[in-house]
Structure 1
Amino acid sequence: MTNTLFRRLAGAALLTTPALLLGAMLTSPPQDDDSSRAYIESLARDWDLSIVSANLFHYYWVAIALAVPAALTLLRGPRGRTLATAGAFATALGAIQISGMLLTDWFNAAMPSIVTTDQAVAVFDRVSADPSLTVWLRSGVVLGIAMPALLMAGLARNGVIGWWATPVALLPMIAGPVAGSILGAAAGSVVGALCCAPFVLVGFRLLRRTAPDVAAAEPDLVAAR
């Protein structure tokens, strides 16, 4: 029963990832350039929009962090288990790192309404220059973006999903911005959401394993492996 509930909750969480990412990207405030000032000004320009985007990004990563360990319950036999285990826990760690970092959006969006923009940028640059914060951010980005591919490779090696999911798992946070720069923000947001397909597939697999007929047959399938 516990395993069934775990799979259902995790499966449902993974199914929400395209909608969460789509909403987050669609509401992400546009920047004039990549400077600290442009970033601060973009967040401060529309508080409500910035906070909606920050919340959606946060819960996108929360859903991933909570759900990917459940993917390991799909494994049958030893093939791909090491890859999948490393990928699942590294992905969860990266997602936790990134979701925590999003708290800064609230502060960055609020600062220009309380202090001058120059002061807000100075605070942002001072905080961003701290080495420990750099490690926090970069480790989160590397693990959160790259390690889902390792998880998918392990699941594919085990026969749970197809190999196509491995390269696609790298793309949600990469293909969207690239497509957005070429086709526009809306198109880029859709592309990013579509690249959540591997997470959606794993979510469906988790939910399918909770069906009575599949759950009843699982002990025999595990033994056969």
Structure 2
Amino acid sequence: MTNTSQNLRRLAGAALISTPLLLLGAMLTSPPQDGDSDAAYLASLAKDESLSILSANFFHYYWVAIAIAVPAVLTLLRGDRGRTLTTVGVAATAFGAIQMSGMLFSDWVFAAMPNIAGLDQSVAVFEQINGDPSLNIWLRTGTILGLLMPAVLMAGLARNGVIGWWATPVALLPMIAGPMVGAMVAPAAGSIVGALCCAPLALIGVRLLRRTAPQVTAAEESLALSH
């Protein structure tokens, strides 16, 4: 394996290992809402604009890390078992992560808008934007693929023997378990639980870094030559 390939593996591994910290930062800095209405959402973003933007940065780079790293997961596979499932999971997860990272731009806009145009005007703009069909397709594909397809990816890796089957259900939880625990216990507890649910991604990152060890690289090259 070339040095370039090894460096790409290291980059992907480090990116996936960073995901729990990025998600933890995003959830800890996410501004609390007083209700579920559009007005409450916009008011929460505008109340502390700097904090909202910090949270948006963490969320954005969480998704960027996933998008740039998951293609390298395919280099962990040995044999054909689970390869199709993993490939589908990789492609769909990467696409979903790209969609989700792009959606975060709106946080910069919606955090600033109420303080400039007023809350009522901001709600009107927000509702018009969210009523656009193409934006809804963007949002739904990002949500469905970004949040559900990592489980498909984990299932493929588990079938191939790269990781255990425990990672498949856990991969569904980062954006679900965190808010639930936060609502029932405390926001900080929910943030920690959400970050811990990124363990499968971090584990894959560790696997990628281990594959860059000299002895592993030598074994891979010997195996390739034998075929």
User: Is TM > 0.5 for Structure 1 vs Structure 2?
Assistant: yes
Distance 2:179 2:199 in 1: 17
- Cα offset for 1:116? 1.6
% identical equivalent positions: 69
Question: Partner of 2:111 in structure 1?
Answer: 109
Aligned match of 1:59 in 37, 58, 61?
61
- Cα offset for 1:158? 0.6
Distance 1:182 1:24, change over 3 A: same
Question: Partner of 1:164 in structure 2?
Answer: 166
Distance 2:146 2:209 in 1: 23
Distance 1:49 1:171, change over 3 A: same
Aligned match of 2:198 in 169, 193, 196?
196
Distance 1:221 1:166 in 2: 29
Question: Partner of 2:129 in structure 1?
Answer: 127
Stretches (4+) displaced over 4 A: 220-225
Question: Partner of 1:42 in structure 2?
Answer: 44
Question: Partner of 1:173 in structure 2?
Answer: 175
Q: Does structure 2 retain, via aligned residues, the 8 Å contact 1:169–1:195?
A: yes
Matched, 1:187 2:189: yes
The one-letter code of the counterpart of 2:165 is W
- Cα offset for 1:43? 0.2
Distance 2:224 2:43 in 1: 55
Per the normalisation by structure 1, the TM-score is 0.97
Residue by residue, what CA displacement relative to the aligned partner does 1:113-166 show, whole Å, maximum 9, x if unpaired?
111210000000000010100010011000000000000111111111111111
The one-letter code of the counterpart of 1:17 is T
- Cα offset for 1:33? 1.2
Question: Partner of 1:141 in structure 2?
Answer: 143
- Cα offset for 1:218? 1.7
Aligned match of 2:100 in 98, 101, 105?
98
The one-letter code of the counterpart of 1:80 is G
Residue by residue, what CA displacement relative to the aligned partner does 1:168-204 show, whole Å, maximum 9, x if unpaired?
0011111101111111100000000000000010000
Aligned match of 1:89 in 87, 91, 98?
91
- Cα RMSD of the aligned pairs, angstroms, is 1.3
Aligned match of 1:30 in 16, 32, 36?
32
The one-letter code of the counterpart of 1:165 is A
Distance 1:108 1:75 in 2: 42
- Cα offset for 1:108? 0.3
Q: For this pair of structures, how many residues does the alignment match? A: 225
Q: Does structure 2 retain, via aligned residues, the 8 Å contact 1:44–1:109?
A: yes
Question: Partner of 1:6 in structure 2?
Answer: 8
- Cα offset for 1:224? 8.7
1:70-85, aligned counterparts within 5 Å?
A: 70-85=72-87
